[in-house]
Structure formats: structure tokens, C-alpha cells
Amino acid sequence: MNQIDHLGIAVRSLAEARKFYEKLGLEVMPEETVEAEKVRLAMVPIGESRLELLEPTSPDSPIGKFLAKRGEGLHHVALHISDLAGTVERLKSSGTRLVSDEIKIGAGGHLYIFVHPSSAGGVLLELVEDAPVGV
Ligand code: ZN
């Protein structure tokens, strides 16, 4: 199903962000660390979508650099795509700039890749697909 999977929000402190979203009456899920991206994150389910709160574990991470340059705020929009491999092939063959060459495996085994803002109207776009069945 194609839908907005989540909105990624860069925060300086997950603990502070958690307090804020809990004040809104929302449930903040337990934190997890993604070593490859040098980030700790916590998901906030909202309807069929989620907010993804992102705190850097290192200043030289993508989120650390974003915070230094732009401060806290909306970092990326993630679209859930049903045929990620086919979509990436179409993007590559039409010259779309991707942040990485390959689709990566994220937390929970889901697949993801980022489209560079220069190819997506100034928005850092994450494309995600569920983990393949049986993996
Ligand atoms: Zn994300």
C-alpha cells in the first residue's frame, strides 16, 4: 500500500521530545539505535502513519550535521512504496539523484533508500518497503 510511512523530525534530545509528544496524549515507542546512521530514534504512531524522532549519537552523523546547520525540525518525509526495487530502477534510469546507490536494511528489517532533495523538490524523501516475507 502506498502511503506516508512517517515524518522524520530531528531533535537535540529524545527525552525532551518524548515529554512534549506525551503531553499531546500520544504514545512514544521505546527508543532504538541505528548504528549505521549514528542515530537513536523513537516512533510516535499517529493513525496509520508515524512521527520518527531522531537524535544523533555523533555530531558527524547526518542528523548531527543537520542540527548544526538548520537546528531542530522536519528532516525527511518517508513514503511507503510497494515495489521499492522497481521504483529505484526507474529513478536511476531517469537520472534521479539518490543519497545511496543501494537499498539499505533498517530497523525491523524494512528496506529503505533516500532520494536527494535536489531531485525531489527540496525535500529529503525516504522510500520504504516492508521486510521481505520469510526474512
Ligand atoms: Zn525515516
Residues flanking ion ligand 1, Cβ below 5 Å: 8, 52, 78, 126
- Dihedral angle sign, alpha carbons of residues 73, 18, 115, 57: positive
Fold of the CATH domain 3-129: 2,3-Dihydroxybiphenyl 1,2-Dioxygenase; domain 1 (3.10.180)
Q: 26 C-alpha vs ligand 1 centroid, how far in Å?
A: 19
Three cell numbers written together for 64: 548531527
More confident residue, 2 or 117: 117
pLDDT of 11-54, one tens digit each?
A: 999 999 999 999 999 999 999 998 888 999 999 999 999 999 99
Element of type H or E holding 16: helix 14-23
Q: 6 C-alpha vs ligand 1 centroid, how far in Å?
A: 6
Work out the average pLDDT over 78-107. Answer: 94
Residue 87 has pLDDT above 90, yes or no: yes
Q: 50 C-alpha vs ligand 1 centroid, how far in Å?
A: 10
Domain ranges of the chain: 3-129
Q: What is the DSSP track for 34-92?
A: EGGGTEEEEEEEETTEEEEEEEESSTTSHHHHHHHHH-SEEEEEEEE-S-HHHHHHHHH
- pLDDT number for residue 133: 66
Beta carbons within 10 angstroms of residue 6's beta carbon: 21
Three cell numbers written together for 36: 549505521
Give strand pairing partners of 34.
39
Q: 126 C-alpha vs ligand 1 centroid, how far in Å?
A: 6
Spatial distance between the Cα atoms of 29 and 24, rounded to a whole number of angstroms: 14
